[in-house]
Amino acid sequence: MSKSAHEATGSKPTSSKPDDGVTLRVPYSYFGAMYDKEEEKAVLVAMKQDRQTKGPHLEQFQKEFAGMCEVKHALAASNCTTAMHAATQAFGIKQGDEVIITPNTFIATSLVLLKEGARPVYSDIDPKTYNIDPKQIEEKITPKTKAIYVVHYGGQMCDMDPIMEIAKKHNLYVLEDCAHTPGAEYKGRKAGSIGDMGCFSFHSLKNMTTLGEGGMVTTNNDEIAAKVARLRAMNTAAWDFPEKQNTFNFAGYTLTKTGISDYWIPSHHDVIDDDGKWGNNYRMNETQAAVGICQLKKLKWMNEKRREFGRYINEAIKDIEGITPVYEDPNCYHVYHLYTLCVEEEMGIERDAFMRILYREHGIQPILHYQPTYHYTGLKKLGYPDKLCPVAEKFFYKRELNLPIHPRLTKEDCNIMIEGIKKAAEKVRKQIENLDEHGLFSS
């Protein structure tokens, strides 16, 4: 990454001294993309136009995003959560329904089900990919099951073929939570193109962003697309009348068009419920869409930078005993939204102790994703037990940590992280060598 590129973004994390006195050399960044003068110009253009919502930038962004995902429809939303909520409503999921879902995800994936009165049924994860394990899904299916919600964790897609086979066998919908995977692929097929719907996030952490928030629904299903279009915009739709009809009767009132210039007759829009589902205002504005168009042009390049850095770290730490770098499924094009490193039992030290060395002694700031959803207070009130998904629980509480990764990193940043990991592992080995026969450190 060139210096000029960093200067163009104006957002590369800098070394700082938090309240705990640690001087950060590689801080965790909460901005996962890059901006330059193209986004600045696009914002100004959108701000100066008359239509600030539902305008030309939105139409262009949706069209280009659908093209990137190789689907018929892309419908922008205010964020991924609202995109998933509209999708959930479009599926007709209701009180008492069950949906199989991974516990290794942000609360939003479960929240959209809880809002409709459905019950998330948590299925455990694969210990290598950290995605939902297809082998464990079918045993969770009951007569109440209506859908499978998969989450493509960290930038790598789930093993979709067996999941789609299970869904077809049991007549279930499949939603892809693609918050981590814009541009990712599974066997040459794009994220958001395999299930019945895909939902994307453009939050500031993600591989591309629309001014910090934003989302998108993708689908090849015309009927579902029409429902989502209404549900994200307060159930509004055009009046469904024959094109040549000029006279309309409403509640005893007769309205007559005298030509196409009478655009206000019968009225500007109709409002249609979707099988009793009422939507909300989940729309994206024009300025966000204008930035999204710019970001989409950069997405492949930004993803390649993430892959470059992720693979560089992988190669450098692959032989450290007790450390598991990122696993890339050969069927997938991994876009490294997260760099998830695991500290295994062979390391001889707990994950949290290893993180303390990285943070306090080397100024590297890792974070954790994701606490099993059913362990949150609100979910525990619903009766979910502990030890429900032991692989996911061990992953979060004992194994994983996420290193800083974004397209504005430098080789120097990567080398600092690599050196910190190697030195932390070396320190642990020396401490273990100094243990006496009672398991105490010798003087």
Domain ranges of the chain: 3-30+299-433, 37-238+271-291
Query: pLDDT tens digits for 157-185?
Result: 999 999 999 999 999 999 999 999 999 99
Read off the amino acid at residue 33.
Answer: A
Q: What is the percent of the chain with per-residue pLDDT over 90, rounded to a whole number? A: 90
**What was the pLDDT predicted at 314?**
98
Q: Could you report how far apart the first and last alpha carbons of the chain are, in Å?
A: 46
Cβ–Cβ contacts within 10 Å for residue 19, how many? 5
At residue 305 the predicted structure's pLDDT band, cuts being 50, 70 and 90, is very high
Query: pLDDT tens digits for 106-157?
Result: 999 999 999 999 999 999 999 999 999 999 999 999 999 999 999 999 999 9
Strands lying side by side in the sheet with 173-177: 73-77, 215-219, 197-201, 173-177, 145-151, 98-101, 119-122
Q: Please tell me the pTM assigned to this model.
A: 0.94
pLDDT at 436 over 60: no
At residue 243 the predicted structure's pLDDT band, cuts being 50, 70 and 90, is confident
Read off the DSSP letter of residue 55: S
3-30+299-433: which CATH number, 3.90.1150.10, 3.30.360.10, 3.40.50.300, 3.40.50.1970? Answer: 3.90.1150.10
At residue 19 the predicted structure's pLDDT band, cuts being 50, 70 and 90, is confident
**What was the pLDDT predicted at 1?**
35
**What was the pLDDT predicted at 3?**
36
Say yes or no: domain 37-238+271-291 is CATH 3.40.50.300: no
* Angle at 79 (CA atoms; ends 78, 83), nearest 5 degrees: 90
pLDDT at 440 over 60: no
From residue 301, give the alpha-carbon distance in Å to each of 180, 304, 308, 350: 16, 5, 10, 37
**What was the pLDDT predicted at 34?**
98
Which of 252-266, 341-355, 425-439 is least confident? 425-439
Query: pLDDT tens digits for 221-237?
Result: 999 999 999 999 999 99
- Alpha carbons 422 and 426: distance in angstroms, whole number: 6
What burial letters (b/e) apply to 139-162, b meaning 16+ CB within 10 Å?
ebbeeebbbbbbbbbbbbbbbbee
**What was the pLDDT predicted at 179?**
98
The average confidence (pLDDT) of the chain is: 94
Read off the amino acid at residue 309.
Answer: F
Structure tokens at 266: 């019968």
Which of 104-108, 187-191, 211-215, 235-239 is least confident? 235-239
**What was the pLDDT predicted at 435?**
67
Query: pLDDT tens digits for 23-75?
Result: 999 999 999 999 999 999 999 999 999 999 999 999 999 999 999 999 999 99
- Note if the bond before 266 is cis, omega within 30 degrees: yes
- Alpha carbons 365 and 26: distance in angstroms, whole number: 6
DSSP per-residue string spanning 202-241: --TTSSS-STT--EEEEES-HHHHHHHHHHTBTTEE----
**What was the pLDDT predicted at 12?**
53
Cβ–Cβ contacts within 10 Å for residue 92, how many? 16
Give the distance, in angstroms, between the CA of residue 72 and the centroid of all CA atoms in the same chain.
Answer: 21
β-strands 323-324, 339-343 pairing: antiparallel
